[in-house]
């Protein structure tokens, strides 16, 4: 039987590339996004169901799931991809932006997961894939909020791994490195604030990110890693995507805090 995946935040970047990839591999894809009326490419594809889903709107989550199951009979995999990055000095960051960041990247992911788990439990089968980041196990400066959400995604997913095993469901964490998407532009809530003490660090961070030696991968590469995670049939939890993530996370794992933080501080010093 043809399998079905539901993807959140599929209007662009990793979500869209993954929707394309699964569709090309013969899967049914429930492509969800906040503004499906804007989507022109995916709606023309075979076995694609386009649905409105805002992870901050519980009703839209329930409706998208219901419509997807009605069309395809069942859902075999969920990709919690929707998310964005809030960066900037904490003390001046607007409180409403802090709440939106955690609501989107964490509570939204929990709400979508909670909505689909009963369906997976009924089927005694399912794969729950959460997009974390290299920034779920290491941090860049001025990212207390974004990294706070991605560390949360790591903890949530790792603990769910045991819980979901009770009902035949696999949990997968994807850790992309730098990926060429809209993340650094329209999905980036950067608030510089007005405290002069932090301005040199802001400058240094952008210089670190814009280093031409950084490896930047296309979203299609992450899509292939996600496909592997969903279909490899193993109990493996974490998947790095890819070369820069491999390097940085391996370094994080194998060096002491002092050594790793000093390496990052050196990069900031230029």
Ligand X SMILES: NC(=O)c1ccc[n+]([C@@H]2O[C@H](COP(=O)([O-])OP(=O)(O)OC[C@H]3O[C@@H](n4cnc5c(N)ncnc54)[C@H](OP(=O)(O)O)[C@@H]3O)[C@@H](O)[C@H]2O)c1
Active site residues: 132, 146, 150
State the minimum distance, in angstroms, from the CB of residue 214 to ligand X: 10
Q: What is the largest CA-CA distance in the chain?
A: 60
**Of the two residues 73 and 186, which places its CB atom closer to ligand X in the complex?**
186
Q: Which residues bind ligand X (CB under 6 A)?
A: 8-9, 11-15, 33-35, 54-56, 81-84, 104, 108, 131, 133, 176, 178-179, 181-183, 187, 219
C-beta of 40 vs 194, nearer to ligand X: 40
Q: CB of 14: closest distance to ligand X in angstroms?
A: 4
Query: In a 3-state reduction of DSSP, which class is residue 188?
Result: strand
Query: What is the Cα–Cα distance from 155 to 176, expressed in whole angstroms?
Result: 17
- Closest-approach residue to ligand X (CB): 13
User: Whole-number minimum distance, CB 66 to ligand X, in Å?
Assistant: 17
- The residue (of 62 and 125) whose beta carbon lies closer to ligand X is 62
Q: Tell me whether residue 66 or residue 165 sits nearer to ligand X (CB atom).
A: 66
Residue 108, SS3 per DSSP: helix
Alpha carbons 185 and 34: distance in angstroms, whole number: 18
Tell the smallest beta-carbon distance from residue 197 to ligand X (Å). Answer: 28
Reference 25, options 80, 76, 91; nearest CA is 76
Nearest partner of 147 among 159, 167, 169, 132, judged by Cα = 132
Q: Is the separation of the CB atoms in 21 and 223 below 8 Å?
A: yes
């Amino acid at each position: 039987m043809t399998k079905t995946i539901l993807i959140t935040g599929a209007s662009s970047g990793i979500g869209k590339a993954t929707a394309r990839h699964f569709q090309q591999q013969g899967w049914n894809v429930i492509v969800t996004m906040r503004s499906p009326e804007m989507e022109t490419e995916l709606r023309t594809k075979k076995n694609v169901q386009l649905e409105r889903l805002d992870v901050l709107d519980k009703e839209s989550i329930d409706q998208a799931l219901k419509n997807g199951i009605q069309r395809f009979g069942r859902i075999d995999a969920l990709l919690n991809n929707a998310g964005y990055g809030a960066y900037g000095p904490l003390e001046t960051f607007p409180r409403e932006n802090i709440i939106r960041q955690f609501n989107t990247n964490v509570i939204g992911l929990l709400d979508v997961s909670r909505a689909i788990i009963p369906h997976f439990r009924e089927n005694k089968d399912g794969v729950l894939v959460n997009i974390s980041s290299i920034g779920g196990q290491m941090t860049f400066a001025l990212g207390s909020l974004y990294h706070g959400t991605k560390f949360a995604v790591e903890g949530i997913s790792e603990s769910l791994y045991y819980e979901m095993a009770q009902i035949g469901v696999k949990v997968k964490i994807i850790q992309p490195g730098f990926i060429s998407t809209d993340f650094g532009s329209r999905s980036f809530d950067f608030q510089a604030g007005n405290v002069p003490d932090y301005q040199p660090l802001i400058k240094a961070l952008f210089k670190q990110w814009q280093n031409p030696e950084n490896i930047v991968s296309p979203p299609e590469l992450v899509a292939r890693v996600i496909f592997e995670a969903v279909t490899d049939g193993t109990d493996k939890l974490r998947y790095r995507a890819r070369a820069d993530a491999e390097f940085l996370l391996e370094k994080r794992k194998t060096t002491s805090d002092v050594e790793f933080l000093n390496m990052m501080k050196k990069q900031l010093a230029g």
